[in-house]
Amino acid sequence: MRKISTFVAVVLMLVSTASVMAQLRGKGRLQGTVVDKQTGTPIAGATISINIADGSTSPIVVKSNDKGRWSALGMSNGSWNIDIDADGYQPSRVGPVAISETQTLPSRKIELEKLAVQEQVPEVVAPMGSSVPQEAVDAIKEAEQLLSVNGGDVISRTEVAGVGETTSVSRTVTPEDVVENARKAAALMAKALPQIPSETPELQTVRLQVQQRMAQAYYRAGDVRNAIGLLEAISAADPANIGVALLLTNLYLENGQLEEGKARLAGLPADAVTDPTVYVNIGILFLNKNNPEDAAVNFGKAVEMDMTQPASYYYRGLANLQLKKMKEAKADFEKVISLAPDSTEARDAKQLLDSMK
């Protein structure tokens, strides 16, 4: 069976903007959409930076519109990289892409993975007081600044050009920069944490916030093991923290620790999950780990929670198809078509139904 992402498609259209026209270098063009990898939902406001591989010219930077669509004009012949960054998602790179000024390439669908830790983690804002060394305060502030920089941001610095002369140099932040910043931020907070006492409730809150931000930094840097370790420590100290428990569930599954993820999920209170999307996302993780049985169970929970969402039926149909439960799969795909006949899921469901005949 193909990867989940190959079943989810969107209609791509060319969207031209005046800001792109001002950056013309050649006659080559690129266009596409940016979507959430798990749900197929368009991502608005994503930054797309298109850089020629040899670095001989400044990048073309555009934003996706409210339907996730983007386009860029002005590429010359050659190899170009496409860097994508959006709030709440892992930075991504596509390329190198061979551009020809005499040929229009098909639209590209770029799928981004969510930063599972980021949405649940507040910034460190509680006052730390005089009992925390200034060194620790400065380290945390520097870490926060590093984590605030996103791919596609344009940063400037002043350099000395000569005696009494300075010049401003600008560059665009790359996905590699974001990862490196996250590594540095995690190291800074790891150094600061032991210096924060826990003698008052306020300081205990600060320690918890720093640990959560460290988990985010580790995850953003691709260090899932350390992110899990920190979240486990937080969960042990605060077992009632449902948000952390859900994050741990997702990270366990993403890291291939299926039994740990299942145990964490089973330990949640019955009313802990109120959004069916949570079960859909967990089901997709199981499905991508070749565990259609547990995937179908979670998609079924999503259906029970809200019987009007076609995505829940669609993914359960895929799980049933893997389980060779043809009758159940057919029923799920037919439900998708009846609920949202014009959706991309319905189109794929029709194709799957035709293949089952």
The least confident of 124-128, 136-140, 221-225 is: 124-128
Q: Cα separation of 322 and 287, whole Å?
A: 9
Each residue's pLDDT tens digit, 76-116 = 677 777 888 888 787 887 767 777 655 556 777 888 887 64
- Residue 207: the pLDDT is 84
Each residue's pLDDT tens digit, 228-279 = 999 998 888 888 888 788 888 878 887 888 888 888 888 888 777 777 877 8
Closest CA to 63 of 51, 50, 76: 50
- What's this model's pTM, rounded to 2 decimal places? 0.53
By residue range, what is the domain housing residue 73?
Answer: 4-112
Query: Dmax of the chain from CA atoms?
Result: 80
For the chain, the straight-line distance linking the first and the last C-alpha, in angstroms and rounded, comes to 17
- Residue 130: the pLDDT is 56
Each residue's pLDDT tens digit, 30-54 = 778 899 887 888 888 888 888 776 5
Each residue's pLDDT tens digit, 273-314 = 777 877 887 888 788 888 999 999 989 999 998 899 888 999
Q: Cα separation of 278 and 126, whole Å?
A: 30
Each residue's pLDDT tens digit, 4-23 = 332 222 212 222 222 322 23
Residue 228 lies in a domain: no
Q: Cα separation of 83 and 173, whole Å?
A: 10
Residue 343 lies in a domain: no
Q: Cα separation of 335 and 329, whole Å?
A: 10
Please, what is the average pLDDT of the chain? 77
pLDDT band at 160 (very low <50, low <70, confident <90, very high): low
- How many structural domains comprise the chain? 1
Token pair listed for 129: 């007081």
Contacts of 142 by beta carbon, 8 Å cutoff, 6+ apart:
185, 188
Q: Cα separation of 208 and 128, whole Å?
A: 12
Q: Cα separation of 59 and 152, whole Å?
A: 10
Q: Cα separation of 109 and 106, whole Å?
A: 10
Length of the chain: 357
CATH code of residue 81: 2.60.40.1120
- Residue 166: the pLDDT is 67
- Residue 4: the pLDDT is 37
Contacts of 357 by beta carbon, 8 Å cutoff, 6+ apart:
none
Residue 13 lies in a domain: yes
- Classify burial at 63, counting beta carbons within 10 Å of its beta carbon; exposed 0-12, middle 13-18, buried 19 or more: middle
Alpha helices in the chain (DSSP H): 18-21, 134-147, 175-192, 201-220, 224-237, 242-254, 258-266, 276-288, 292-305, 310-322, 326-339, 344-356
Residue 310 lies in a domain: no
Has residue 126 got a pLDDT over 50? no
Residue 344 lies in a domain: no
- Residue 89: the pLDDT is 82
Has residue 134 got a pLDDT over 90? no
Kindly state the DSSP code that residue 2 receives in the 8-state scheme: -
> Per DSSP, what are the bridge partners of residue 106?
none
Residue 78 lies in a domain: yes
pLDDT band at 72 (very low <50, low <70, confident <90, very high): confident
Each residue's pLDDT tens digit, 297-356 = 989 999 998 899 888 999 999 999 999 999 999 999 999 999 989 877 888 889 989 988
Report DSSP letters for 143-202, one per residue.
HHHHHT--TT-EEEEEEEEETTEEEEEEEEPPHHHHHHHHHHHHHHHHHHGGGS--SSHH
- Residue 296: the pLDDT is 94
State how beta strands 108-112 and 92-99 pair. Answer: unpaired
Has residue 55 got a pLDDT over 60? no
- Residue 219: the pLDDT is 87
The C-alpha angle with vertex 248 and arms to 243 and 252, in degrees rounded to 5, equals 155
Residue 101 lies in a domain: yes
Kindly state the DSSP code that residue 107 receives in the 8-state scheme: P
